[in-house]
Amino acid sequence: MIRPICKDREVLQTPSRKAVKKDLRLARDLKDTLAAHPGCVGLAADMIGENVQMLAAEMMGVPVVMVNPVILMKKDPYVTEERCLSHDHTSTVTRYGVIEVEYRDDRWNRHRSRLEGLPAQIVQHEMDHFEGKLV
């Protein structure tokens, strides 16, 4: 189901809790909402009003859901500007060109992936939402 994008600062600045298996129902909503916003490459669950550590990100044209992702390694820092659907300003942030992330998918299977470039940046941006950071 396509959900409205949350712009409520109180919701967006609230740290997200770890997801549990029953939260997987949100995965379809994240994918549907991501697909409904052309040009959008990632969504965190708080952006649809749910403070849960779950995100959907476009990876080579395919929406990938990451549940409780943890960055295990990061290297090659750089400074860039980013925007977000949940607020109307651009932020300057430091990101890492290469990350290794461990997560569960939308079927609760474990994965470990090495991401580079834009996919790495997308995941880092969405994970900032888990901490209540508005970037």
DSSP alpha helices (H): ranges in the chain? 9-12, 25-35, 118-130
Residue 86 vs residues 8, 43, 47, 80: alpha-carbon distances, Å: 8, 10, 6, 18
Per annotation, catalytic residue among 50, 81, 100, 126: 126
Angstrom distance (rounded) from CA 61 to CA 47: 21
Q: Is 100 a catalytic residue?
A: no
Residues forming the active site? 126
